[in-house]
Amino acid sequence: DEDAVEEERLRWWRLMNSMWRAFLVLFVTPFVCAQSVKSAIVTPWLGAHWGAFNASLNLQQRQNVAQGIQKFEERLYYDRIISGAPRLHADVERGLLLEEARRLEDIEKKKSFLATGNVIGSLIFITMTVTIVTLQKSNISRLLGDISDEFIGLDAATQAFILMLGADMVVGYHSSDGWQAFLACIITHYGLDFHKFEMAVRIFVAVVPVTLDIGFKYWVFNKLRKISPS
């Protein structure tokens, strides 16, 4: 019994080690390299040339600035009513609004700057990932094969736990908030307005996770026939 328990622990350790190596090779290495290139080359280059590329705001940015100015004007009116102060001179009020407009424009331009850097960084990450997969295809296939072999060697209860955990995380049986939060982070990461994509996100959450779950179960029944029916 002790030998069986020790063998099970060793097999579990080998499985986790293989998964960790796959994660390092396929995700961590490209991510670190992409962030290094972005910080050392892309961001300084964009900072030096951003004024020529982004001289004016787009329609959405102008709308954001206009809404910000309107809210600022409403705050001025509220503060004046609460404090009982006299109405500001037109030139003074115009100067305050102009200063606020310039501040909001700088914020929108900074958002565009960061979003552009994020897009370039993501392209670098994707390129490096594809390159690694192409150059290390045989090693990656062998690594994934080791993971599959170690997984098949686990006891039925552990296999069932991993499969149910993976299926629940992919589909989000208990709540779709996880998928929505994930997509919201991606959309805002690239400087896009989440509200404009809200309907597309809902459709995505309703269709894609279920499709992934079906594909996952098909892979289980097709490739892992040695797993216990339980």
Output the pLDDT for position 67. Answer: 93
Q: What is the pLDDT of residues 187-211, one digit of tens each?
A: 988 888 888 888 998 898 888 888 8
Provide the CA 189 distance to its chain's centre, in angstroms: 7
Tally the residues of the chain: 230
54 contacts 109 by C-beta, under 8 angstroms: yes
For residues 34 and 36, what is the distance between their CA atoms, to the nearest angstrom? 5
Between residues 107 and 85, which one has the greater pLDDT? Answer: 107
Question: How far does Cα 121 stand from its chain's mean position?
Answer: 13
What tokens does 122 get? 């993501």
Type of residue at 179: W
Number of H helices, E strands in the chain: 9, 0
Q: Hey, what amino acid is at 8?
A: E
* Plot region of 189 (φ>0 → left; ψ -120 to 50 → alpha; else → beta): alpha
pLDDT, tens digit, 9 for 90 and up, residues 21-53 = 888 888 999 999 999 999 999 888 888 877 666
Mean pLDDT of the chain: 82
Confidence of residue 54 (pLDDT cuts 50, 70, 90): low
Say if residue 133's pLDDT is above 70: yes
Residue 74: pLDDT over 80: yes
Dist. CA 25–CA 129, nearest whole Å: 9
**Model confidence band, residue 100 (pLDDT cutoffs 50, 70, 90):** very high
